[in-house]
Amino acid sequence: MRIHPVFKKTAWIVTSIILLVVCACAESSQATSPQAQSKEFQAGIDKYMEIHKKAEASVPAMPKETTDAALIAKHQQQVAEAIRKLRPNALVGEVFTPSVRQMIVATVKQKVEGKAGESAKATILGEGNPKSEAVPVNLTVNGTYPTTAPLSTVPPSVLMALPTLPKELEYRFVGRNLILLDSAANLIVDFIPNVI
């Protein structure tokens, strides 16, 4: 039996399309694998820390072992201003990219949902969380974290599940939003709205 050339060509086109779809799906699943998400997050952190180090090097050094609150605040402001100059167009999602955001939200939700997560969720949303009514925290990338606002406690179960950060950076919650805080510059690096 002889197959008509039109059917051969159609079968070849359909097979090619199926292969392209399968390859695209495989590529997509690799891009969102936990290893890929962790690498992507680490790349964002490394890029930010390069900026942080350049900014710190560009301002006068603070004397070691200083306890003068005014001097510490002045140094933080200088570092923050230098960071803003080095990343003037910073936007939400530069460190917490969509893929990284997905990983972080899933991790936090896993630790705060259900009976086992009640305590962690209560800690995050409880006393110490700067709710907008008490002390307004303007969630803005490159924005200053108010010195009068409390710093929320991140439960150990959540902290241990999240990727490790350099000593200059911290995870903090403002209401239900997770922020990445540069504590050395008192600056909001990035944030994820409505994590819990």
The 8-class DSSP code of residue 79 comes to H
Q: Which fold has domain 34-192?
A: Nuclear Transport Factor 2; Chain: A, (3.10.450)
Residue 173, SS3 per DSSP = strand
> What confidence score (pLDDT) does residue 139 get?
92
pLDDT digits (tens, 9 = 90+) for 76-106: 999 999 999 999 999 999 999 999 999 999 9
> What confidence score (pLDDT) does residue 4 get?
53
- Which residues, in sequence order, are CB contacts of 45 under 8 Å at separation 6+? 95, 163, 165, 166, 169
> What confidence score (pLDDT) does residue 148 get?
87
Contact assessment for residue 45 and residue 169, using Cβ atoms and an 8 Å cutoff: yes
List the single range of 65-69, 120-124, 185-189 with lowest mean pLDDT. 65-69
> What confidence score (pLDDT) does residue 5 get?
54
- The Cα–Cα gap between 171 and 80 comes to 18
> What confidence score (pLDDT) does residue 136 get?
82
Mean pLDDT of the 122-139 span: 82
Mean pLDDT of the 155-181 span: 96
- The Cα–Cα gap between 54 and 40 comes to 22
> What confidence score (pLDDT) does residue 29 get?
42
Mean pLDDT of the 137-143 span: 94
pLDDT digits (tens, 9 = 90+) for 16-74: 455 444 444 444 444 478 899 999 999 999 999 999 999 999 999 888 888 888 898 99
- CA 16 from centroid of its chain's CA atoms: 39
pTM of the model: 0.80
- CA 169 from centroid of its chain's CA atoms: 11
pLDDT digits (tens, 9 = 90+) for 7-32: 455 554 544 455 444 444 444 444 47
> What confidence score (pLDDT) does residue 132 get?
55
Q: What are the tokens at 142?
A: 């490159």
> What confidence score (pLDDT) does residue 130 get?
86
Mean pLDDT of the 140-154 span: 92
- The Cα–Cα gap between 23 and 33 comes to 15
**pLDDT of 154 strictly over 80:** yes
